[in-house]
Structure formats: structure tokens, C-alpha cells
Structure 1
């Protein structure tokens, strides 16, 4: 009987010691920084209606915690957290205690969509950003003109970033909006959408990236149907290579304050000294005339060869290519395109 009592006592002591050891381990784990390879803050999203307890598994699965039980222990010891739904920037090396404190703070401001339309010029984007109160008029154009401030794995043109700022809907935060950061995002998006996947093909194309961007910017304005752009690209590249003026009227609109100002447009068409007048000047225009999409960039990179030298669009925007000037003039008369 005495031996049994001694054994029970030993078991109780061991159990108490085990509980005490586990408690000490948990206490230490709460304040110990989490070992992680990359200390850069990462976004963590708390969904609406999520309880503080349920966040433990989410934190662990995203690499902020090694053991969700430590999170639950911390909540048991200090009481529940007052966590708001929203986005938080958390350090992967933070301790559980630090994570809890961060999650009781204010979420990041919610972003709002900013839609940059395909074909927009720098001046168009500048105008809309200014109208929304995000910048002062001219600030975007000025910032995009200083190419040396931005980074890319390809040469950025020194005369400005027209054509390299990818048209897309971006989530932006009005508070603290920085135009330079926004432009870098646009350059990064151009890289992600087009350059990274096609760098080797660009190098073998026989065209420079800048030439491709210029061509793509014209295709964006010239051909409304993406599937037709490779055919138009083939016609335009052939004219470039043979020294024949392109006849892309959109180039003469590029420097107009208002793109659809017909009176000003016709005046520029009559100006044979205008470097943007592609009716009278052979070769590519001095630069891109807007922001091309990946469809136009790929069309410029992968033109379709054909016997056609000319093309026009009828009133319904349907493409009509032709093999020579006689066919082209006949189509102009048929569809009343002058």
C-alpha cells in the first residue's frame, strides 16, 4: 500500500512538473520572435466576422506562426482580442505577442480602383488622376518624363515612359498617394504582362523593344479587333521596312490636347514638317502614341505576313485590306472612307 501511495505521489509530481514545464514553454513561445527566412512585412487579411481564436490557424498556414496552439494560449492568458476586419501588414519574424498587438491596431486603408484605359496617353492619365484629386495637374507627366527614377530589366527610353505604363485597373490608396510609386507599379505590370514571358522572343525578333512598343501603340488605336491586329502589324511593318509612309492618322492626333479635335487634327495633317505626320514621313513616329495592351504588343511581335499593303475600316469598324493602291481606292469609294 505504501508503495502504491509513493507511486501516485511521483506521478502527481511529474504531472505538475509537466504542466509547469508546458506553461513555461508557452509563456516563452509567446514572446519569442518567429524564425523566418524573409523579414519583409506581408499582407494579412482578417475577414469580416472572423474570431480572434480562428486567426491562429490562418496565421500558421501563412507562415507567421510555427504553432497555432501558442496563439490560443496567448488568448487564454490575456483575454480575447478586439480585431477589426481588414488588411494588416505583419512581420513574419514577429512574436505572437507582437502579432496580437498589430492585429488590434487599425487596418490598412482600403484601396479604390483606378482604371487606366488602353491607348491612353500620359496626358490622359494625368488628367484623370488630377480630376480625382490624387495629383496636381501635370505631376504625372513630369514624373513619367524622368525615366532614370525607375527600374526595369530592359532599357527605359530617356524621352519619357509613354507606352511602357501598362493600362489596367489598379487598386490605389488615396491617402499618401505617391505618383512615382504608382508609375513604378505600371512599369512592373508592363514587365509582368509582356516582357518577362517574351524576352527571348523579343531578342530574336529583329526589332528593338522600343520599336515594338511604338508599333503596338499604333495598333491599339488603329485596329479595334485584337484578332485583326497581327494582320495590320504585318502591313505596317512591311511599309516600315520598304520606306513607305505608314498613313496612320492616329500619330497626327498624339500631341493634340483633345484627341477628337477634328479641326486641329486636319491642320496637323497638312503640316509636312510635323514629325508625327505618318502620311508624309516614312518610318516609325518619334515614339509611342499611347499605352498598348498585351494583345497589341504580341501583334507587333508576331505580325502576319500577307500580300496586303493597305487597309481601311468601314463605318462599322470592319477591316478591309487591299493589295495595291487601285484596290484601296476602290474600297474607299465603296465604303465612303476619305
Structure 2
């Protein structure tokens, strides 16, 4: 009988010790982060109708906590969680106690899409941002004309970021919109979409990155079919290398307040002193004339060799290249392009 009592007492002690060990493990687990030190932010979404208890497996799946059981233990200790639906920025370096407190706070403001159209100039993007009440008119242009305030994986121009601010749809938060942070995102996107993946090819091309960007900005406006931009680039680079005028009329539109202002455009074409007039001045224009896409950038980087020296587009925007001035003039008459 005494032996049985001793065994029971030993089992009770062991059980109590085990329970204490589990409690200690859980207590420590809620105050110790999964990652010690710096860790990237994770966008965590609490869906409408979600309960605090169901978040444990999601937090674990996104690498924010080690064990969903620790989440449940913390909920039990704190008596629940006043959960709010929305988006929250969390880190694996945050202990469970801090994660819970963050999820009880205010969620991030909802973002909205901002669509930047291919070929847009700085002034076009500025007008669109101002129309959405994200900036005051002129703020985007002013910031983009201070390249030294930004960083990039590629060499930045000294005077203006025209041509380097990648055009796509960006999710932005209207509340507290930061124009410089937005420009930095555009530069990062340019690097990610084009420069970083093609750096070695750019260096071997014999062209500077800036010249490639200038050429690409013209291709974006000149050739509507991406697959044909390499052919047009081949013609234009050939004219550059031989010292011929490019004859890219889009460059004469660059400084117009309204791109499609035909009267102002025709006046520009007659101005031989205009540095953007590539009908009369050989070489590249002074800078990019808008924001090119990766299709145009690759077209400029990989020009297609051909026998052609000229090209034009008919009323349906179909490309018609020609080998000499006589053929080009015949095509102008045929398609009534002047």
C-alpha cells in the first residue's frame, strides 16, 4: 500500500512538473519573437468575419509565429482580442504579444490604383496626380527634377528623371501620399523590370543607358506594335550613326502643353532652332520624351538590322519601311502622309 502511494505521488509530481514546463514554454514563446534582429515586413490581412482564434494558423503560415498553439495560449491569457478587419504590417521579429496589440490597433488605410500611361511625360503624370488630389500641381515635376535625392541600381541623370519613372498601375494610399516615395518606387520598378535583368547586355551594347532610354521613349510614341520596335530602332540608330536627322516628329511635341495640339505642333516643326526638332537637327533629342515600357527599352537595346532607312505609318498606323528617299516619298504619296 505504501509503495502504491509513493508511485501515485511520484506521478503527480511528474505531471505537475510537465504542466509547469509546458506553461513555461508557452509563456516564453509569446514573448520571444520568431526572428531576432531585422526582419522584412509582412502584409497581413484580417478578413471580415474572421475570429481571433482562426488567425493562429494564418500567422504561422506566413512565417510570423512558430506555433499556432502559442497564439491560442496568448488569447487565453489576455482574455481574447478586439479584432479589426483590414491590412496590418507585421514582422517575424515581433513577439506574439506585440502582434496581438498591433492587430487591435487601426488597420492601414485602403490603397487605390493610380494608372500611369505608357509614354507619359512628367507633366502628364503630374497633372494626373493633381487631378486625384494626391499632390499640388507641379510637385511631381519639381521632385523629379532633383535626381540627387533618389537612389537606384543604375546611374541616374543629373537634371531630370524623365524617362526613368516606369509607367504602370501603382497602388497608392491617398492619406499622406509622399511624392518622393512614389518616385522612388518608380525608379525601383525601372531597375527591376529592365536594368537589373539586362545590365550586362546594356554594357556590351556600345550605347549608354541614357541614350537607350532616349531612344526607347521615341519608340514608345513612334511604333504602336511592340514587336516592330526593334526594326524601327534599327533604322533610327543607323541614322544616328551616319549623322542623319531622325525625323521623329514626336520629339517636337514634347514641350507642348497639350500633346495633340496640332497648331502648336506645326509651329514647332517650322522652328529650325528648336533643339527638339529632329527633322532639322541630327542626333538624339536633348532627352527622353516620355516614360518607355520594357518593350520599348528592349527594342532600343536590341535593334534589328535591315536594309531600310525610312519608315512611315498609314492612317491605320500600319508600319511601312523603305530603303531610300524615293521609296519613302512614293509611300508618302500613296498613303497621304505629310
Give TM-score scaled by structure 2 length.
0.97
1:20 equivalenced with 2:20 (yes/no)? yes
Provide structure 1 residue ranges, at least 5 long, that are not aligned to the other structure.
none
Instruction: Quote the Cα distance in structure 2 between the aligned partners of 1:249 and 1:41.
Output: 47
Instruction: Quote the Cα distance in structure 2 between the aligned partners of 1:244 and 1:39.
Output: 55
8 A Cα contact 2:118 2:167, kept in partner: yes
* Corresponding residue for residue 326 of structure 1: 326
Instruction: Quote the Cα distance in structure 2 between the aligned partners of 1:26 and 1:159.
Output: 58
* Corresponding residue for residue 302 of structure 1: 302
1:162 equivalenced with 2:162 (yes/no)? yes
Aligned to 1:337, the other structure's residue is in SS state: coil
> How far off its partner does 1:51 sit?
2.2
* Corresponding residue for residue 74 of structure 2: 74
Q: Deviations over 1:188-222 (max 9, x none)?
A: 00000000000000000000000000000000000
How do 1:1-338 residues align onto structure 2 when only pairs under 5 Å count?
Answer: 1-338=1-338
> How far off its partner does 1:273 sit?
0.4
> How far off its partner does 1:77 sit?
2.3
Aligned to 2:92, the other structure's residue is in SS state: coil
8 A Cα contact 2:251 2:276, kept in partner: yes
Provide structure 2 residue ranges, at least 5 long, that are not aligned to the other structure.
none
> How far off its partner does 1:44 sit?
1.8
Aligned to 1:53, the other structure's residue is in SS state: helix
Q: Deviations over 1:263-320 (max 9, x none)?
A: 1000010000000000000000000000000000000000100000010100111000
Moved more, 143-152 or 69-78: 69-78
> How far off its partner does 1:42 sit?
3.1
Give the paired residue count.
Answer: 338
8 A Cα contact 2:218 2:250, kept in partner: yes
Instruction: Quote the Cα distance in structure 1 between the aligned partners of 2:33 and 2:282.
Output: 65
Over the residues paired in the alignment, what is the CA RMSD in angstroms?
1.3
Instruction: Quote the Cα distance in structure 1 between the aligned partners of 2:86 and 2:258.
Output: 41
Give TM-score scaled by structure 1 length.
0.97
Instruction: Quote the Cα distance in structure 2 between the aligned partners of 1:27 and 1:248.
Output: 71
> How far off its partner does 1:243 sit?
0.5
Moved more, 223-232 or 151-160: 151-160
> How far off its partner does 1:45 sit?
2.0
Instruction: Quote the Cα distance in structure 1 between the aligned partners of 2:235 and 2:29.
Output: 68
Aligned to 1:43, the other structure's residue is in SS state: strand
> How far off its partner does 1:34 sit?
3.6
Aligned to 1:94, the other structure's residue is in SS state: coil
8 A Cα contact 2:226 2:295, kept in partner: yes
Aligned to 1:118, the other structure's residue is in SS state: coil
> How far off its partner does 1:40 sit?
4.6
- Change in Cα spacing, 1:240 to 1:36, as seen in structure 2 (3 Å) is same
> How far off its partner does 1:37 sit?
4.6
